[in-house]
């Protein structure tokens, strides 16, 4: 069967959705994202990081494992210590006609423009086939199927550094005849809501958003100079809007998930929740734009950062109400 290439908002949820569709299960990227409880917030300050940072999605790999656990789909996964073996196993699977997802260093995806390619070790692509020394690749960020030379794919699969891929590959091996979407969706919702409002960790979920709001005003004391500070503040926009979030730090994709879930389960409550998180996303987008503007203008005095902080606190309050209501809803629908 020919592999249907499709662009997607995010590389991991897009790759999982594409492989499942190829294997005969019709499922959208937002459903994959929502069922796996992909939505998240975490604020991290550590000596390991050069500067505080935040994440708006769950950890890499969790989208695949979450979907598998809640739908009964099974994936075969492998990592390799030996690159030659990693190459051989991939080539064998491809020659058997199986598209395979590979974890890669984004930098080596040469078919994408130079200015977007940075070293990030958790970029997922689907390798569709091998033609001579060239691999045909389906990358969610590329409008068409692309070609990647063998050397680049090997470098990308066996890049060093944090989250190094170690040749990680996966592909679906079994799809259940019937999937209980009602249970899968509500379990995914309950898990995401729990992470956002119940997890007793001070830097995760709504607590993490509040910590971000509190700490962002201190960022000037951590930055080397105004250029560095401006760069870090503008990264807020990049983390929320670029890097395959689907816009507003995955909040829009989660809204699409809730809308699709509402249609699938014929549940109007989910449609209402979808509208609410869409509005929450719109306000996150205002934060993106505000951060980008003040960063670009280097207008980063205490007043401006105070305004930014207030906007983030307001998002924490809105998400606390939203995810508490969602958690209550998930309990009542069990």
Q: Which is nearer to other proteins, 89 or 238 (CB)?
A: 238
Q: Which is nearer to other proteins, 68 or 248 (CB)?
A: 248
For the chain, the C-alpha Rg in angstroms (whole number) is: 20
Where are any strands of DSSP class E within the chain? 39-44, 53-57, 74-78, 100-104, 123-131, 134-138, 146-149, 169-174
**Per the structure block, which two tokens stand in for 109?**
């995806």
Pick one of 5, 9, 148, 210: the residue that binds other proteins (CB under 8 A): 9
Q: Are 76 and 173 in contact (CB under 8 A)?
A: yes
* Cα 9 to Cα 141: distance, rounded to the nearest angstrom: 8
Residue 288 in contact with other proteins, rule: CB under 8 A: yes
Collapsed DSSP state (helix, strand, coil) of residue 252: helix
Residue 328 in contact with other proteins, rule: CB under 8 A: no
C-alpha separations of 243 from 57, 224, 235, 294 in Å: 11, 25, 11, 21
Nearest partner of 179 among 254, 70, 259, 22, judged by Cα:
70
Q: Are 11 and 124 in contact (CB under 8 A)?
A: yes
| Burial class of residue 273 (count of CB atoms within 10 Å of its CB; 0-12, 13-18, 19+) | buried
To other proteins, the closest distance from the beta carbon of 280 in angstroms equals 13
To other proteins, the closest distance from the beta carbon of 163 in angstroms equals 23
Placement of tokens 């929502």 in the chain: 34
First-to-last C-alpha distance (Å) of the chain: 38
Residue 227 in contact with other proteins, rule: CB under 8 A: no
**Kind of pairing, strands 134-138 and 123-131?**
antiparallel
To other proteins, the closest distance from the beta carbon of 289 in angstroms equals 5
To other proteins, the closest distance from the beta carbon of 318 in angstroms equals 18
To other proteins, the closest distance from the beta carbon of 295 in angstroms equals 9
Q: Which is nearer to other proteins, 87 or 139 (CB)?
A: 139
Pick one of 149, 241, 269, 320: the residue that binds other proteins (CB under 8 A): 241
Contacts with other proteins: how many residues (CB under 8 A)? 24
To other proteins, the closest distance from the beta carbon of 111 in angstroms equals 15
Placement of tokens 């075969």 in the chain: 76
To other proteins, the closest distance from the beta carbon of 277 in angstroms equals 12
Q: Which is nearer to other proteins, 149 or 282 (CB)?
A: 282
| Burial class of residue 160 (count of CB atoms within 10 Å of its CB; 0-12, 13-18, 19+) | exposed
Pick one of 119, 182, 296, 298: the residue that binds other proteins (CB under 8 A): 296
Residue 8 in contact with other proteins, rule: CB under 8 A: yes
DSSP 107: G
Residue 118 in contact with other proteins, rule: CB under 8 A: no
* Cα 167 to Cα 154: distance, rounded to the nearest angstrom: 8
Residue 248 in contact with other proteins, rule: CB under 8 A: yes
Q: Which is nearer to other proteins, 91 or 282 (CB)?
A: 282
* Cα 211 to Cα 218: distance, rounded to the nearest angstrom: 11
Choices 7-15, 83-91, 93-101, 206-214 (CB under 8 A): range interacting with other proteins = 7-15
Residue 246 in contact with other proteins, rule: CB under 8 A: yes
Choices 19-27, 250-258, 268-276, 320-328 (CB under 8 A): range interacting with other proteins = 250-258
Residue 141 in contact with other proteins, rule: CB under 8 A: yes
Choices 122-130, 161-169, 225-233, 238-246 (CB under 8 A): range interacting with other proteins = 238-246
Interacting residue ranges for other proteins, rule: CB under 8 A: 7-9, 140-141, 237, 241-242, 244-248, 252-253, 256, 282, 285-286, 288-289, 292-293, 296
């Amino acid at each position: 069967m020919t592999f249907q290439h499709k662009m997607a908002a995010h590389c991991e949820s897009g790759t999982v959705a594409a492989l499942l569709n190829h294997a005969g299960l019709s499922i959208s990227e937002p459903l994959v994202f929502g069922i796996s409880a992909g939505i998240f917030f975490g604020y991290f300050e550590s000596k390991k990081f050069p500067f505080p940072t935040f994440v708006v999605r769950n950890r890499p790999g969790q989208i695949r494992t979450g979907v598998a656990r809640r739908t009964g789909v099974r994936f075969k996964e492998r990592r390799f210590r030996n690159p030659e073996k990693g190459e051989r196993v991939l080539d064998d699977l491809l020659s058997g006609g199986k598209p395979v997802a590979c974890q890669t260093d984004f930098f080596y995806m040469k078919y994408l423009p130079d200015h977007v390619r940075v070293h990030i070790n958790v970029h997922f692509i689907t390798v569709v086939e091998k033609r001579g020394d060239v691999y045909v690749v389906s990358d969610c960020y590329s409008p068409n199927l692309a070609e990647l030379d063998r050397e680049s794919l090997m470098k990308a699969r066996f890049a060093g550094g944090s989250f190094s891929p170690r040749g990680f590959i996966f592909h679906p091996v079994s799809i259940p005849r019937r999937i209980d979407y009602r249970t899968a969706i509500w379990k995914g919702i309950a898990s995401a809501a729990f992470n956002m409002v119940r997890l007793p960790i001070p830097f995760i979920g709504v607590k993490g958003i509040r910590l971000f709001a509190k700490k962002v005003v201190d960022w000037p004391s951590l930055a080397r100079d105004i250029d560095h500070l401006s760069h870090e503040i503008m990264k807020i926009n990049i983390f929320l809007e670029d890097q395959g979030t689907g816009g507003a730090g995955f909040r829009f994709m989660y809204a699409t998930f809730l809308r699709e879930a509402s249609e699938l389960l014929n549940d109007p409550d989910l449609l209402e929740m979808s509208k609410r998180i869409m509005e929450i996303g719109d306000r996150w987008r205002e934060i993106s734009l505000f951060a980008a503007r003040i960063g670009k203008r280097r207008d980063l005095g205490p007043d401006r950062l105070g305004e930014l902080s207030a906007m983030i606190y307001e998002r924490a309050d809105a998400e606390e109400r939203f995810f508490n209501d969602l958690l209550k809803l998930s309990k009542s629908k069990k």
